[in-house]
C-alpha cells in the first residue's frame, strides 16, 4: 500500500484506525494489507452508538437458555435468567448469544434486539462440530475418509439444519494439528498431517458457508483455535506451547490459512500461550500475522472466558487489564466473560483503549452481521417451519451412514475373518459398547443426542438374516469391572463361532479437558479381552476411540481390528455395513497409532537425526528407545480393504518446472475395493532439515476385483518449496525421494528425482 492510499483510507476509516496500523509490528515487518471499508450502514451505526452500546456489540453472551436440565430443575429461576438476558438485549448491551437451545427463545431475543435503541440484530452462534441434529462422525473419524468433499457435504448438511433452527454461526471447524494423542481434543480436528488438515479445513468452511454467507442456509465458519492449541506441552489441555516460529508456520498455521482462503470470516483465539504470550494477548499473532500478513477481514472471538483467563496466565493484573490486553491484541468479540461490556467504556473514556480500536472491532462485528444478511432479515435463520422440513431428512440420514462407513479404518484382517457371513454363524457381541444409547455421538454435541442414534447391536441385527444368532454381553463397563461380567462373556464366546469385541474409550475420555496419560484400552476391558481370547475363538475388535490408541495383548493380536471412533446417528448400520461386507473398508488413519505411549508425541513427518535407526534390529548409538522400535504400530495413512492391493511399476518423469510420478495400483483380491493412493516426498538435502517423509498428494480410487489403474500425480516446484530461516517459502534445487504407498511408513513403490 503506498502512502497515498494510506492517506485516503485514513480519511475514510478514521485516522486512528490507521494509526494503529502505522505503529503496528506488521508495518515494522514491512507487511502491508489494505482493509476493506465498512459499509455506509455500518459507519452510520457506529457514529450513533454510545460507548456502552459499542461494548455491548462486542459481547457474546452464553445463552440463558443453554441447559434444558437447569430449566427442568428450576423453571422459575431459568425463566428469570432468560428475562434478564432479554432485558440486556433490549438495552443494546449484547451483540450475540451462543449455545441457546430454543428457537422460540432465540426469536424472542431477536425481537428484543430489534426493539433496542438502534435495532441492531443479534448473531446466534453455537458449537455445530459434526452435525446439528443429524450427527455425523467426529471430525477425526471423518478425516479418515481422506475425502474432503465428503467433509464438505456433511458440513453443508449441518449448516442446512442449524441455519433453519436459528444459528448464524458455528464455532467450527477445529483445524488444530494434533500430534500428541494424549490431547483429548484430537477428536475434534483432522489429525496430524498438514496437507490433509488443510484440505479438510477448507472443505468444511465451504460446506458451512455455502455459496454465499447471505443465503439463509449458510452459517459463518470459525476455524479454531488460533493458534497451536494442539501443541500444548505433554498433550495436556490448555497447556503452554513453546515452539519456533518456523514450526508454527510450517505445521500449525497452514490449515488456518487454507480455511481463510476458503472464505472463513471469523476465528477463535486459542486458550494457550505461545512462547510466553497467551494467544488472547498476542498482537503479533492476531494483528501481525492474521491481519497484516494474511489480510483477514473477519472477526476474532475470544474462547470461553479466554480474555478473562489472562489474569490466571499471569499477564493481566485484573479484569480491566485483561479486557485492555485482549482488545489491543486484536480480540474483537468477548465470549462469555462479559469483561468487555464491563470495562471497555471506561477504558476508552480514559484513553487506555483508543476509540478507533473499539470502532474497528465494532465495524468487524457489524460487517459480519451484514454479510450474513441479518440487517435485511434478522429472522432469516429462525424459521421453525423450515427447521421441521430440513432436519433429519432421509438424505441427511443416508449421508450420515455413508460418512460413518467411510470413516471406519480396518487395521488388520488376518485370515480374512472379515467380512462376516450374514447367516449361518453364531456371533457373540461382547463389550461395553455393544448396545444402548451411549457413546454414539462423541464428546461434544450441543444438539444431537445418543438417543437419536442407532447402536451397534441394533445395526448388526438389522443386517443379519437371522438376528437370533447374535448374543450380546456387556462383559465390563468402560473403566470398572462388572460383577460376573468376564464369566458371562467367556460363556457367550464359547457358544459362538466368532466374537465381536466392542472396546475402547467412552465419550468423556476425549474432548475438551480430557487428556489421558496412558492412551491404552482401560484395564478392565483389557482383562476382558484376554479372557475372551483364551477361548481361542476368532475375535474382531471394534475400537471406540476419540484419538490414536496404543494396542496391546489380546486386542493387538485379535484376528481383525476396526477403528470405529464415534460415528454418530448411523453408528450401528455403518459398522454392520463394513462387518458384513455391504461396504469395503475405505478409511485411512489420520493419526499414527504408536507402539507405546512413551513415544508421544508421535507423528510420521518427523525430522531425521544424525543417527537414524535405519535397521529393524537394535543398533547402538541410534535414535531409538531401549527395547522399542521407533516406528508406529499402525502409521498415518494405514488402512486395509477387502481387496488385495498391490503397488508396482513406479515412473518418475521430471521436467523443468516439476515432476510427474505414476504407479500401477492393482486389486488382486476377489472383492471390489477403494484404495487411497498416497504420494510422499522427502527433500534429501536443503538449507534446513526436512521431514523424513511428507504427504504431498492423495487420491481415492475404486478398483474392481482383479482390476488395476495407473495413478499419476503432478508436483510443481511450488509443491516442493521449503520454508527458509527467514520464513519465506522457496524452492531449493536438489534431490528428492518419492514414494507412492498405502501409508506413511509403507514402502509402496519408490524412486527419486533431481530438480
> Which chain residues interact with ligand BGC by CB under 6 A?
99, 127, 171, 224, 303-304, 512
Q: Which of 180, 193, 303, 450 is catalytic?
A: 303
Closest CA to 192 of 739, 694, 722, 719: 694
**Residue among 448 and 742 whose Cβ is closer to ligand BGC:** 448
**Residue among 336 and 740 whose Cβ is closer to ligand BGC:** 336
Alpha-carbon span 250 to 244, nearest angstrom? 10
Q: Name every residue whose Cβ is closer than 8 Å to that of residue 525 and which is 6 or more positions away in sequence.
A: 431, 432, 475, 476, 478, 503, 504
CA distances from 513 to 24, 283, 445, 449, 522 (A): 35, 26, 15, 21, 18
To ligand BGC, the closest distance from the beta carbon of 373 in angstroms equals 23
The three three-digit cell numbers of residue 487, written as one number: 464369566
To ligand BGC, the closest distance from the beta carbon of 281 in angstroms equals 17
Closest CA to 188 of 150, 143, 146, 123: 143
* Three-class secondary structure of residue 459 per DSSP: helix
DSSP letter for each residue of 504-562: E--TTSSSTT---SS-B--HHHHHHHHHHHTTT--EEEEEE-SS--B--HHHHTSSEEE
Indicate the helix (H) or strand (E) that contains 69.
Answer: helix 68-73
To ligand BGC, the closest distance from the beta carbon of 624 in angstroms equals 36
The three three-digit cell numbers of residue 78, written as one number: 431459568
**Residue among 45 and 365 whose Cβ is closer to ligand BGC:** 365
To ligand BGC, the closest distance from the beta carbon of 305 in angstroms equals 8
**Residue among 269 and 715 whose Cβ is closer to ligand BGC:** 269
**Residue among 224 and 343 whose Cβ is closer to ligand BGC:** 224
**Residue among 97 and 366 whose Cβ is closer to ligand BGC:** 97
Tell me, rounded to whole angstroms, the distance of Cα 476 from its chain centroid. Answer: 31
The three three-digit cell numbers of residue 304, written as one number: 470461553
186 φ/ψ angles, rounded to the nearest 5 degrees: -50, -35
Alpha-carbon span 493 to 201, nearest angstrom? 43
123 φ/ψ angles, rounded to the nearest 5 degrees: -110, 135
Q: Name every residue whose Cβ is closer than 8 Å to that of residue 381 and which is 6 or more positions away in sequence.
A: 124, 163, 164, 165, 166, 167, 168, 216, 219
To ligand BGC, the closest distance from the beta carbon of 55 in angstroms equals 21
**Residue among 141 and 643 whose Cβ is closer to ligand BGC:** 141
199 catalytically annotated = no
Tell me, rounded to whole angstroms, the distance of Cα 112 from its chain centroid. Answer: 35
Given a contact cutoff of 8 angstroms between Cβ atoms, the answer to whether 533 and 503 are in contact is: no
**Residue among 224 and 516 whose Cβ is closer to ligand BGC:** 224
The β-bridge partners of 368 are none
Given a contact cutoff of 8 angstroms between Cβ atoms, the answer to whether 679 and 739 are in contact is: yes
**Residue among 99 and 163 whose Cβ is closer to ligand BGC:** 99
To ligand BGC, the closest distance from the beta carbon of 107 in angstroms equals 22
To ligand BGC, the closest distance from the beta carbon of 171 in angstroms equals 3
Query: How many C-beta atoms lie closer than 10 Å to residue 10's C-beta?
Result: 17
Indicate the helix (H) or strand (E) that contains 652.
Answer: strand 645-654
**Residue among 309 and 694 whose Cβ is closer to ligand BGC:** 309
Half-sphere exposure of 57 (CA within 13 A, CB side): 28
**Residue among 163 and 667 whose Cβ is closer to ligand BGC:** 163
The length of the chain, given as a count of residues: 755
* Three-class secondary structure of residue 737 per DSSP: strand
Q: In what order do the strands lie in the sheet with 694-703?
A: 694-703, 673-683, 735-741, 749-754
To ligand BGC, the closest distance from the beta carbon of 127 in angstroms equals 5
Residue least distant from ligand BGC (Cβ): 171
Burial of 267 (0-12, 13-18, 19+ CB in 10 A): buried
Given a contact cutoff of 8 angstroms between Cβ atoms, the answer to whether 633 and 138 are in contact is: no
429 φ/ψ angles, rounded to the nearest 5 degrees: -90, 120
DSSP letter for each residue of 577-638: HHHTTSS------SS-EESSGGG-S--TTPPP-SS---SSS--TTSS-BTTB-SSEEE-TT-
To ligand BGC, the closest distance from the beta carbon of 463 in angstroms equals 36
Alpha-carbon span 297 to 329, nearest angstrom? 15
To ligand BGC, the closest distance from the beta carbon of 694 in angstroms equals 28
To ligand BGC, the closest distance from the beta carbon of 308 in angstroms equals 13
**Residue among 329 and 677 whose Cβ is closer to ligand BGC:** 329
To ligand BGC, the closest distance from the beta carbon of 225 in angstroms equals 6
594 φ/ψ angles, rounded to the nearest 5 degrees: -75, 175
Beta strands in 177-323 (DSSP E): 224-226, 266-269, 273-274, 277-278, 299-301
User: Which residues are the active-site residues?
Assistant: 303
Amino acid at each position: 500500500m503506498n502512502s497515498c492510499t494510506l492517506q485516503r483510507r485514513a480519511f475514510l476509516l478514521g485516522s486512528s484506525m490507521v494509526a494503529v496500523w502505522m505503529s503496528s509490528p506488521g508495518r515494522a515487518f514491512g507487511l502491508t494489507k489494505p482493509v476493506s471499508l465498512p459499509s455506509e450502514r455500518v459507519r452510520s451505526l457506529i457514529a450513533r452508538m454510545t460507548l456502552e452500546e459499542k461494548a455491548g456489540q462486542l459481547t457474546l453472551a452464553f445463552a440463558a437458555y443453554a441447559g434444558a436440565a437447569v430449566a427442568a430443575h428450576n423453571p422459575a429461576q431459568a425463566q428469570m435468567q432468560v428475562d434478564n438476558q432479554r432485558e440486556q438485549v433490549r438495552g443494546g448491551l449484547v451483540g450475540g448469544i451462543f449455545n441457546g437451545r430454543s428457537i422460540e427463545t432465540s426469536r424472542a431475543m431477536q425481537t428484543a434486539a430489534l426493539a433496542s435503541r438502534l435495532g441492531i440484530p443479534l448473531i446466534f452462534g453455537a458449537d455445530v462440530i459434526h452435525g446439528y441434529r443429524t450427527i455425523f462422525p467426529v471430525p477425526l473419524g471423518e478425516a479418515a475418509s481422506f475425502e474432503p468433499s465428503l467433509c464438505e457435504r456433511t458440513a453443508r448438511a449441518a449448516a442446512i439444519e442449524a441455519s433453519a433452527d436459528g444459528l448464524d454461526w458455528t464455532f467450527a471447524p477445529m483445524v488444530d494439528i494434533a500430534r500428541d494423542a494424549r490431547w483429548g481434543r484430537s477428536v475434534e480436528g483432522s489429525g496430524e498431517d498438514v496437507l490433509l488438515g488443510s484440505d479438510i479445513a477448507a472443505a468444511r468452511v465451504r460446506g458451512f458457508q455455502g455459496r454465499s454467507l447471505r443465503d439463509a442456509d449458510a452459517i459463518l465458519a470459525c476455524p479454531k483455535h488460533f493458534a497451536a492449541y494442539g501443541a500444548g506441552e505433554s498433550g495436556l489441555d490448555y497447556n503452554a506451547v513453546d515452539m519456533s516460529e518456523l514450526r508454527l508456520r510450517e505445521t500449525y498455521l497452514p490449515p488456518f490459512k487454507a480455511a481463510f482462503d476458503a472464505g472463513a470470516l471469523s476465528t477463535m483465539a486459542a486458550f494457550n500461550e505461545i512462547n510466553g504470550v497467551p494467544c488472547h494477548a498476542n498482537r503479533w499473532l492476531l494483528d501481525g500475522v492474521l491481519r497484516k500478513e494474511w489480510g483477514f477481514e473477519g472477526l476474532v472471538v475470544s474462547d470461553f472466558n479466554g480474555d478473562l483467563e489472562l489474569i490466571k496466565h499471569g499477564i493481566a493484573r485484573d479484569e480491566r487489564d485483561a479486557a485492555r490486553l485482549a482488545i489491543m491484541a486484536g480480540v474483537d468479540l468477548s465470549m462469555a466473560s462479559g469483561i468487555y461490556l464491563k470495562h471497555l467504556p471506561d477504558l476508552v473514556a480514559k484513553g487506555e483503549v483508543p476509540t478507533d480500536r473499539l470502532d474497528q472491532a465494532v465495524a468487524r462485528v457489524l460487517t459480519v452481521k451484514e454479510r450474513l444478511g441479518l440487517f435485511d432479515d434478522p429472522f432469516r435463520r429462525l424459521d421453525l417451519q423450515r427447521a421441521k422440513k430440513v432436519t433429519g431428512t432421509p438424505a441427511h440420514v443416508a449421508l450420515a451412514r455413508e460418512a460413518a462407513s467411510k470413516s471406519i479404518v480396518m487395521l488388520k484382517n488376518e485370515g480374512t475373518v472379515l467380512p462376516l457371513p450374514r447367516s449361518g454363524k453364531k456371533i457373540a457381541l461382547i463389550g461395553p459398547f455393544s448396545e444402548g444409547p451411549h457413546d454414539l455421538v462423541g464428546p461434544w454435541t450441543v444438539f444431537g443426542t445418543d438417543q437419536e442414534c442407532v447402536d451397534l447391536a441394533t445395526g448388526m441385527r438389522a443386517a443379519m438374516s437371522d438376528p437370533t444368532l447374535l448374543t450380546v454381553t456387556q462383559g465390563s463397563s468402560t473403566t470398572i469391572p462388572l460383577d460376573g461380567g468376564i464369566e458371562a462373556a467367556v460363556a457367550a464366546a464359547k457358544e459362538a463361532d466368532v466374537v465381536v469385541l466392542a472396546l475402547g474409550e467412552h465419550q468423556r475420555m476425549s474432548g475438551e479437558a480430557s487428556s489421558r496419560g496412558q492412551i491404552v484400552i482401560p484395564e478392565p476391558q483389557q482383562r476382558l479381552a484376554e479372557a475372551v481370547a483364551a477361548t481361542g475363538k476368532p475375535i474382531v475388535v471394534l475400537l471406540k476411540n476419540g484419538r490414536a490408541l496404543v494396542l496391546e495383548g489380546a486386542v493387538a493380536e485379535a484376528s481383525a481390528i476396526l477403528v470405529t471412533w464415534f460415528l454418530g446417528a448411523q453408528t450401528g448400520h455403518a459398522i454392520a455395513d463394513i462387518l458384513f461386507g455391504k461396504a469395503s473398508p475405505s478409511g485411512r488413519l489420520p493419526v499414527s497409532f504408536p507402539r507405546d505411549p512413551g513415544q508421544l508425541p508421535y507423528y510420521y513427518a518427523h525430522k531425521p537425526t544424525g543417527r537414524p535407526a535405519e535397521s529393524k534390529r537394535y543398533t547402538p548409538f541410534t535414535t531409538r528407545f531401549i527395547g522399542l522400535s521407533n516406528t508406529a504400530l499402525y502409521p498415518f495413512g494405514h488402512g486395509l480393504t477387502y481387496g488385495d492391493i498391490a503397488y508396482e511399476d513406479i515412473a518418475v518423469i521430471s521436467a523443468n518446472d516439476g515432476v510427474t510420478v505414476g504407479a500401477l495400483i492393482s486389486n488382486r483380491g476377489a472383492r471390489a475395493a477403494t484404495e487411497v493412493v498416497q504420494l510422499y516426498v522427502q527433500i534429501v538435502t536443503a538449507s534446513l532439515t526436512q521431514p523424513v517423509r511428507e504427504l504431498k498428494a492423495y487420491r481415492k480410487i475404486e478398483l474392481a476385483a482383479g482390476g488395476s489403474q495407473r495413478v499419476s500425480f503432478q508436483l510443481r516446484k511450488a509443491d516442493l518449496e521449503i520454508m527458509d530461516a527467514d520464513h519465506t517459502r522457496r524452492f531449493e534445487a536438489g534431490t528428492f525421494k518419492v514414494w507412492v504407498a498405502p501409508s506413511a511408513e509403507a514402502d509402496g513403490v519408490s524412486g527419486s528425482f533431481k530438480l
